Chains A and B, each alone.
Chain A
Amino acid sequence: MSIQLALDGVSRSFDGFKAINELSLTVEKGELRAVIGPNGAGKTTMMDIITGKTRPDTGSVMWNQTIDLTEQDEAGAARLGIGRKFQKPTVFETQSVEDNIALSLAGERSVWASLFHRRSPAEATRITEILELVRLEDQRSDQAGDLSHGQKQWLEIGMLLAQDPELLLVDEPAAGMTDAETMRTADLLRDIAGKHTVIVVEHDMEFVRALDCRVTVLHQGHVLAEGSLDHVSANPEVVEVYLGR
């Protein structure tokens, strides 16, 4: 198996506070990985660094062992094949559900390509497939802003699928979902993994258990433990900083 993403000695501080401290982390292609940790452990900053939003002070973030992601901006990272789902569902509220998917669909992103873009039959089919998968085909022409919280989560997952990224970064997907929805999300993420690499940041232990994957525990911007959920749960340090609370 080849390495998808390798963070090596990454640090980043904000106003003297070290959000990320000598973080090293390797994720293999097609892997499903859960990242857990208490508030302020640096999970969001880590994702910001991987997606080109934040530049680290030191360290390297290698993509497919060849490209240094610290030199990319958000659009650059997205074009390389990194998709991101936010904790708070962020969809284009004044546009239709269908247009949200259409905007996310993989393809040329330049100004000219967008100006003269005509939707191909293949793209139309793909949009319908995705809407069916996330069960929003009936809401196709509704304004995305009118969807329920859970539906927005699904729409955003649909947008990620449309983007067809090599790596998906998913921030607390289960937040605000019902138990049934949570389990369906876990199933979906397990399905996606393999074809895509998936990193899930999550608080909900039930959800992480349902993912049934390798777990990385972050604490104060550093990796505290790594392994199966049972393995890290047995680690006394982890229990102290996180699970025991």
Chain B
Amino acid sequence: MGLIDRRMGIFLAGLFVLTVAIPYGNLAMSGQPVPSYVVSLLGKYLCYALLAVALDLVWGYCGILSLGHGAFFALGGYAMGMHLMREIGDRGVYANPDLPDFMVFLNYEALPWYWHGFDMFWFACIMVLAVPGLLAFVFGWFAFRSRVTGVYLSIITQAMTYALMLAFFRNEMGFGGNNGLTDFKDVLGFDLQSDVTRAWLFGLSGLALAAGLLIAKAITDSKLGKVLIAVRDAESRTRFLGYRVEEYKLFVFVVSAMMAGVAGALYVPQVGIINPGEFSPANSIEIVIWVALGGRGTLVGAALGAILVAGAKTLLTGWLPEVWLFALGALFVLVTIFLPKGVLGLIEGRQKGQSASRERAAARADGVDLEVRPEELRGEEVKS
């Protein structure tokens, strides 16, 4: 079958057309049929799509329902935001060449140690991968080794992102507290307000999404991907075959966190701000809804779900802001009941009328195992 099957081919082709047509319509056509704000808005959706693919990799294929993926996204965003802050240099309100505005305002004398190096773009890029990756590694190391699974794991990932949110809200943390990082001027010398830079960022987001999809596809197509599915469906059985389940989970969790970090790093220059609100538990739950709505365990479906829900959110919040959360909740309930395989399952099911066997099997695979086993509570082995 190869890396690019029919589903992936269609999506990537569509993505390619979009990443060419949107900047073209914005920059090159007379009358500017694509307004500049739309370019940034769609660029933001593509970052969300990459984040959804990252979650689908762990949830759809390995059964790890992370309710904290927003944290990895936000950390990637902060790493990029720190670089953008340093690049402002002495053009800030206080014109301090060494300290970002918020540090001057909060009477910092010198740059905190963990801000060093972020003046270099390459260093920030490494941190975009390293910080979420390291957090995922440490978190996963303890969680997976102690065999925390199912709903308990979901709860502690949620606690993780909540704790980070509280920490980043504190001014003493040195990340701008409540206001976060903003007022960015340029990146690598290119003006962030210019349409050309925005078009480039949009294009890069498209490229990152394509790369993320292909990396995730390569992983899930490999034997490792089959082991992940085995872990999702029958974890204990996989252990008895000699696979160290915790190592596999750790690997995919770290890869996924780094992917989420990249999504965050591309998101920040396009929206122009990163603040602790990105760590809020509601954000992480929304990611799960994107994936569920698009079609869990399909990668492309996850990306599609993110774009659809984010688009609906933009429309609805502009139109009837109070209604959005209710609409989101209703959407989730309806999709869970009527579209267990998500929007992608609906489209593909219509197209070729899949065999009953595949339908059944996929429905089984889609069932979220939130069953609480008393043995898990006691931390004891489950007797077969």
Contacts and interface: CB of A to CB of B under 8 A. Distances in A.
**A and B: interacting chains:** yes
27 contacts: A48-B384, A53-B236, A73-B239, A74-B239, A75-B242, A75-B243, A78-B241, A87-B384, A90-B236, A92-B229, A93-B233, A95-B230, A95-B233, A99-B226, A102-B223, A103-B223, A103-B230, A103-B238, A109-B243, A109-B244, A110-B247, A115-B222, A115-B251, A117-B223, A142-B357, A146-B360, A146-B361
Nearest to A51: B240
A94 interface: yes
Interface string B138-167: 000000000000000000000000000000
A104 interface: yes
A87 B384 CA distance: 8
B253 to A, nearest CB: 12
B377 interface: no
A126 interface: no
A51 B238 CA distance: 13
B381 interface: yes
A90 B224 contact: no
Interface string B351-363: 0000001101110
A140 interface: no
Interface in A149-172: 159, 163, 171
- Sorted nearest first, the 10 A-B pairs with minimum C-beta distance are A78-B242, A74-B239, A114-B224, A117-B223, A115-B224, A143-B361, A94-B365, A114-B223, A79-B242, A90-B237
A44 interface: yes
Interface of B: 219, 222-224, 226-227, 229-230, 233-234, 236-245, 247-248, 251, 357-358, 360-362, 364-365, 380-381, 383-384
Contact of A45 (B238, B247, B361, B383): B383
Contacts of B381: 48, 53-54
Describe A's contact surface by its main secondary structure.
mixed
Instruction: Among B241, B243, B244, B364, find the residue whose CB has the most chain A CB atoms closer than 10 A.
Output: B241
Contact of A111 (B229, B247, B358, B360): B247
B222 A114 contact: yes
Interface of A: 14, 44-45, 48, 51, 53-54, 73-75, 78-79, 83-84, 86-88, 90-95, 99, 102-104, 109-111, 114-117, 142-143, 145-146, 159, 163, 171
B251 A111 contact: yes
Contact of B383 (A48, A74, A145): A48
Contacts of B242: 75, 78-79, 109, 163
B241 A104 contact: yes
Given A114-B224, A115-B224, A94 B241 contact: no
A63 to B, nearest CB: 14
A114 B239 CA distance: 15
Nearest to B252: A111
Given A44-B383, A94-B229, A114-B222, A78 B361 contact: no
Contacts of A45: 383
A145 B361 contact: yes
Given A44-B384, A111-B251, A163-B242, A93 B364 contact: yes
Nearest to A109: B242
B222 A93 contact: no
B58 to A, nearest CB: 14
Contacts of A78: 239-242
A95 to B, nearest CB: 6
A17 to B, nearest CB: 12
Contacts of A146: 357, 360-361
Nearest to A80: B242
Contacts of B358: 143
A155 B265 CA distance: 47
Contacts of A94: 229, 233, 361-362, 364-365
Contacts of A53: 236, 381
Contacts of A163: 241-242
Contact of A145 (B224, B227, B243, B360): B360
Given A73-B239, A114-B223, A117-B224, 13 more contacts: A53-B381, A74-B236, A91-B237, A92-B233, A94-B365, A95-B230, A102-B226, A103-B223, A103-B227, A109-B243, A115-B224, A115-B251, A171-B384
A135 to B, nearest CB: 20
Contacts of A79: 242
Nearest to A116: B222
A27 B237 CA distance: 24
Given A75-B244, A104-B241, A145-B364, A115 B219 contact: yes
